[in-house]
Amino acid sequence: MSKSLSRLWIIIPCYNEENVLPITSELFLNELNDLIDKKKIAEDSRILFVNDGSKDKTWNIICDLAKIDPHYIGISQSRNRGHQNAVLAGMMEAKEKADITISIDCDGQDDIAAMEAMVDEYHNGNEVVYGVRSTRKTDTFFKRFTAESFYKLLNAMGAEVVFNHADYRLVSSKVLKEFAEFQEVNLFLRGLIPLVGFKSTSVYYERHERIAGESHYPLSKMLGLAFDGITSLSVRPIQMITMFGCFVAFMSFLGIIWAIIDVILGKTVQGWASMTCIICFFSGIQLISLGIIGNYIGKIYMEVKHRPRYIISERTWENEE
């Protein structure tokens, strides 16, 4: 098959990972060499680190790695733009030079050994291979519960995502070239890649604990990501507001009839409490609805500006010579 020796680029976003990189970079290289030895990928495959505006020594470490072994290369974003934009920057960098890309976090939580199965699936004709966590044994109950609710909520709201799949995935350059046409600024890769289509499958793996350092995704960021995912991929919340609006209008109509009947029967003095409750309830609902609609308008505002989604300030291969 002509696909047999494809160039693989492993894309690794790194933000303040000076404790982790020295350990995991070696693991990535071992895996890459292993795949090269097995003749599953081409010798000129690469490990691309994307420094996401780290404030520690991450970029220096990446530059040093690039000097040690030609398989290591790196790009640096001009400032911190977040995980999704870092992965995007790496994918766009790779789309012309690689045949396949695998994006993976740099903290060693995702099973690096699953890459072989992903590459095999690519050779079986899949253009996208999702890495899916088979269990969440190492997560705390709270993390597992919130994360699983996150996927259920996303799907219920009409954002199609693969259950328990994060950002560990193989994507072929064919898909990346089509994906480059998706110009949105509000990025939620997990929901966007399935929209590109093409033949896809999943590979299952166990997720480990972080090798070192701390998670950059506390609950607040996770809730933010969930909300972003929903509002970037679906207009169902606005539809729900409209439906709820119709329901409320119908109830109000019944309320009016009730009030008129009460007036006719001459018992209108009471009712202060119920009135207060109704006013409070509906002002709450209205504010929430306005907030959700405002959020969509905010997103439209950001999209209309059409700002660049990432800016690369340095590349390791430009530092050389």
Among 15, 72, 151, 168, binds ligand UDP (CB under 6 A): 15
Spell out the residues 6+ positions from residue 219 whose beta carbon is closer than 8 angstroms to its own. Answer: 146
Q: Is position 121 an interface residue for Mg ion (rule: CB under 5 A)?
A: no
Among 10, 31, 40, 52, binds ligand UDP (CB under 6 A): 52
Complex with ligand UDP: residue 105 or 127, whichever CB lies closer: 105
Kind plus residue range of the DSSP H or E element containing 233: helix 219-233
Complex with ligand UDP: residue 162 or 237, whichever CB lies closer: 162
Q: Half-sphere exposure (CA, 13 Å, Cβ side) for 246?
A: 5
x-marked contacts with Mg ion along 247-276 as a string, rule CB under 5 A: ------------------------------
The sheet with strand 128-133 has its strands ordered as 200-205, 128-133, 165-172, 100-103, 8-14, 46-51, 72-77, 312-315
DSSP 65: H
Q: Say if strands 165-172 and 100-103 run parallel, antiparallel, or are unpaired.
A: antiparallel
Complex with Mg ion: residue 105 or 127, whichever CB lies closer: 105
Among 198, 217, 227, 296, binds ligand UDP (CB under 6 A): 217
Q: Is position 225 an interface residue for ligand UDP (rule: CB under 6 A)?
A: no
Among 46, 71, 83, 165, binds ligand UDP (CB under 6 A): 83
Q: How far apart are CA 47 and CA 30, in angstroms?
A: 11
Q: Is position 170 an interface residue for ligand UDP (rule: CB under 6 A)?
A: no
Owner of token pair 């290289």? 29
Q: How far is the CB of 206 from Mg ion (least distance, A)?
A: 14
Q: How far apart are CA 288 and CA 66, in angstroms?
A: 50
Among 25, 58, 103, 109, binds Mg ion (CB under 5 A): 109
Q: Is position 311 an interface residue for ligand UDP (rule: CB under 6 A)?
A: no
What separation in angstroms does the CA of 138 have from each of 134, 135, 165, 259?
Answer: 11, 8, 16, 58
Q: How far apart are CA 115 and CA 146, in angstroms?
A: 27
Among 31, 107, 111, 127, binds Mg ion (CB under 5 A): 107
Complex with Mg ion: residue 40 or 133, whichever CB lies closer: 133
Binding site for ligand UDP (CB under 6 A): 13-15, 17, 52, 80, 82-83, 86, 105-107, 109, 215-217
Question: Which residues of the shown chain bind Mg ion in the complex (CB under 5 A)?
Answer: 105, 107, 109
